[in-house]
Amino acid sequence: MTGVPKSPSFETIVERRLSRRQALKGAAGASAWVALSGGSLFGLSGCDGAVKSPPLTFAELEHGYDETHHVADGYVTQVLIRWGDAVLPGAAPFRPGAQTKAEQDTQFGTANDFIGFLPLPFGSDNSEHGLLCVNHEFTVAMMMFPGFDNRWRTAEEKTRAQADVEVAAHGHSVIEVKRVDGQWTVVGDSPYNRRITGETPIALSGPAAGHRRLKTSADPDGRTVLGTLGNCAGGVTPWGTVLTAEENFGLYFYGDQDVAAETAAEERRNWASHNAGFAWVPDHDAADPETAPPVRSLPSFYGWSRFYDRFHIEKEPREFNRFGWMVEFDPYDPQSVPKKRTALGRFAHEGTTVVAEHGKPVVAYSGDDARHEFVYRFVSRGSYDATNRAANMDLLDDGDLFAARFDADGTGEWIKLELKETGPASAAESGLSDPGEVLIEAREIARRLGATPMDRPEDVETNPLTGRTYVMLTNNSRRKAEETDAANPRAENLWGQILEILPPGEDGARDHLSNTFAWDLFLLAGDPNHPETAKQGSYHAGVSGSGWFANPDNVAFDPEGRMWVATDGFPGNKTPAGDAAPVHDGIWACETVGENRALTKHFFGCPRGAEMCGPCFTPDGTTLFVAVQHPGLERGSTFDNPSTRWPDFDPDMPPRDAVVAITKKDGGTVGS
Ligand code: FEO
Ligand code: CA
Ligand code: CA
Ligand code: CA
């Protein structure tokens, strides 16, 4: 930990947590499982031993759609950090439209998504001082640079210097933050502050490291990748590391699959299918044959292959295989080398939730955010040692990967992903040769073993109080009527649903290591008055006209076990009729058990064009951090003429992605 202040021992933190967990266990018979949901290390803090959560009493926000953000009455918001703000000491001032790569390397990146709050000093449950760990998922050149008004031309016409800025705007930021007199501030000269970008050296680790399909001309050993890309959501481990998920990596690559040496593998998994239909691409809401690139090519969303051979699959066919992993790093050690944990499989990782109990294997739940893809669970070979931080640091390198099958009778099974002697999952029929390749092509083996194709699995998170695990399924416009099933019951599903996995056992003592489970539809999103939405598993009958939402994406649980859902329904949650006024993305909250189960209430709304990401509570639940992503990204809006200039509203500033801290005016917990 070069240059970083000394922290209290890991044992101290563990003792505190264990004693709190034992109090919980004594009071309610709850297990000692710790779920690291919502990006907070201390999911159980504030718990009084009851499995049932206290009611949400805030006055509900109305649906809306305008240039700025909104929060429920009684709360205050503070913009904490924006794209272009300083992360590293000595960072250059933000020069919109004229940034250099060297400048962006030191500044907060674009498209803030996942947020994790890790208390300082390490080992405390401090809610006023910590490390805020934030993903930067993507760049949109039309909103970053002047002069562009067409998405496809942007990829063709951007300059090398602009592409370099884009690479630097990706990845992750670590910032030290402090709450002083109620106001959150960034500690500008902190030795913890760090940028991870699309060029930071990252180790491949686990079973697929060094695999022949991960070797490139720049890295003949197949063990070091430059950068992490498409960092969507993530997670925080009980041992105080951050997980950052590589999601839509297909967008960075370009080339003719018929020419590339990896042809068979790329065709096998249809990587382009999700990306080509990307709803947030202005100008390209639906496939446009006039302006889209050739169908046979992987999408060239970024055009980086014009400058970087490694993103051109005909020149460097295997670089593509080195993205799509879950990356783990230690934010308390700014010198630490992040690791791509290949044991968790390769797919469009949305995020992950780690669930752990001392002396038992660790579980990591993950969603693959693409249409008709799967929900995954990793189980470590080694056991979590709550008394020895160092012993946990590579737990995610060795274990078994499973994908979920949801049966119509409300039960399900975690199917272990491995080659079989005979049948569709055999080496002969699948074309997969070894365990490393099974991880590289996790989608392929999961499909061959009968996992259930889902409606775009986003966050998968465990309620720390009950142990029930929730899957945000955001939408699937391409599900045909004959493809519907009990877990994905709607054809051409525009609105999404939330699925509830019930590992065996009672609330508070559920067994995440079991390979079988029960499941339920927690709610079908969309307007509850629509006949399709009003079917099984929909909202609580008391939901208000502003209490419904569409397109659940991220989720966090507050310290009292209440669910906070962030939506991604750009450009505004679509109503079933499709012709009503758009509704902003934002945050909706509800209880998950008891009489108010699924009674969702609207809490926060984004400025127009933005989606909501990263909900994350401090350990005591008094601050909720949210990430407003891509404000002003909607049809007809550009850097030169944006539909909003949130959050600065300065004619010289473009709209900027930003983290917002939400607190209650009376200082109480958020939601109370
Ligand atoms: Fe990047 Fe699945 O949202
Ligand atoms: Ca997401
Ligand atoms: Ca989350
Ligand atoms: Ca999203």
Domain-located, residue 131 = yes
Q: Which two tokens stand for residue 96?
A: 């919109």
Question: What predicted TM-score, i.e. pTM, was given to this entire model?
Answer: 0.91
Distances from the Cα of 605 to the Cα of 243, 568, 590, angstroms? 27, 12, 16
Residue 114 Cα to ligand 4 midpoint, Å, equals 10
- Number of folded domains that form the chain: 1
Dist. CA 662–CA 670, nearest whole Å: 8
Residue 495 Cα to ligand 2 midpoint, Å, equals 15
Q: Which atom of ligand 1 lies closest to the CA of 474?
A: 2
Residue 113 Cα to ligand 2 midpoint, Å, equals 7
Residue 650 Cα to ligand 1 midpoint, Å, equals 29
Domain-located, residue 314 = yes
Residue 568 Cα to ligand 3 midpoint, Å, equals 13
Domain-located, residue 413 = no
Q: Which atom of ligand 1 lies closest to the CA of 350?
A: 2
pLDDT at 264: 65
Nearest ligand for residue 368 CA: 1
Domain-located, residue 228 = yes
User: Ligand 1 atom 1: the closest Cα is on which residue?
Assistant: 232
Residue 555 Cα to ligand 3 midpoint, Å, equals 4
390-403: burial string, b at 16+ Cβ within 10 Å, e else: eebbbbbbebbbbb
pLDDT at 573: 53
pLDDT at 1: 35
Dist. CA 565–CA 42, nearest whole Å: 19
List, in sequence order, every beta strand (DSSP E) within 192-241. Answer: 194-196, 201-205, 224-226, 231-236
Q: Which atom of ligand 1 lies closest to the CA of 113?
A: 1
Q: Quote the domain boundaries for residue 186.
A: 84-343
Domain-located, residue 250 = yes
pLDDT at 613: 98
Nearest ligand for residue 610 CA: 4
Domain-located, residue 316 = yes
Backbone region of residue 652 per phi and psi (left: phi > 0; alpha: psi in -120 to 50; beta: other values): alpha
| Mean pLDDT, each 10-residue run in order, the chain (672 residues) | 37 34 32 46 39 90 96 98 97 97 98 98 95 97 91 82 98 98 97 98 98 96 98 98 94 77 62 39 38 48 91 89 97 98 97 97 96 96 97 98 98 98 95 94 95 97 97 93 95 93 96 98 87 70 92 96 92 54 93 94 96 97 98 92 97 98 96 92
The total of other beta-carbon atoms located within 10 Å of residue 149's CB is: 15
Task: Choose among 54, 53, 49: nearest CA to 26.
Answer: 49
Residue 116 Cα to ligand 4 midpoint, Å, equals 16
583-616: burial string, b at 16+ Cβ within 10 Å, e else: bbbbbbbbbbbeebebbbbbbbbbbbbbbbbbbb
Dist. CA 185–CA 203, nearest whole Å: 32
Task: Choose among 447, 139, 186: nearest CA to 303.
Answer: 139
Please name the amino acid found at residue 555.
V
Residue 39 Cα to ligand 2 midpoint, Å, equals 14
Q: Which atom of ligand 1 lies closest to the CA of 367?
A: 2
pLDDT at 155: 83
Nearest ligand for residue 569 CA: 4
Q: Which protein residues touch ligand 1 with a CB less than 6 Å away?
A: 137, 232, 247, 350, 369, 458, 553
Q: In what order do the strands lie in the sheet with 586-590?
A: 70-71, 601-605, 586-590, 563-567, 552-557
Dist. CA 447–CA 435, nearest whole Å: 16
- Give yes or no for a contact between 615 and 555, defined as CB atoms under 8 angstroms apart: yes
Domain-located, residue 376 = no
Nearest ligand for residue 551 CA: 4
Residue 551 Cα to ligand 4 midpoint, Å, equals 9
Residue 434 Cα to ligand 2 midpoint, Å, equals 31
Domain-located, residue 212 = yes
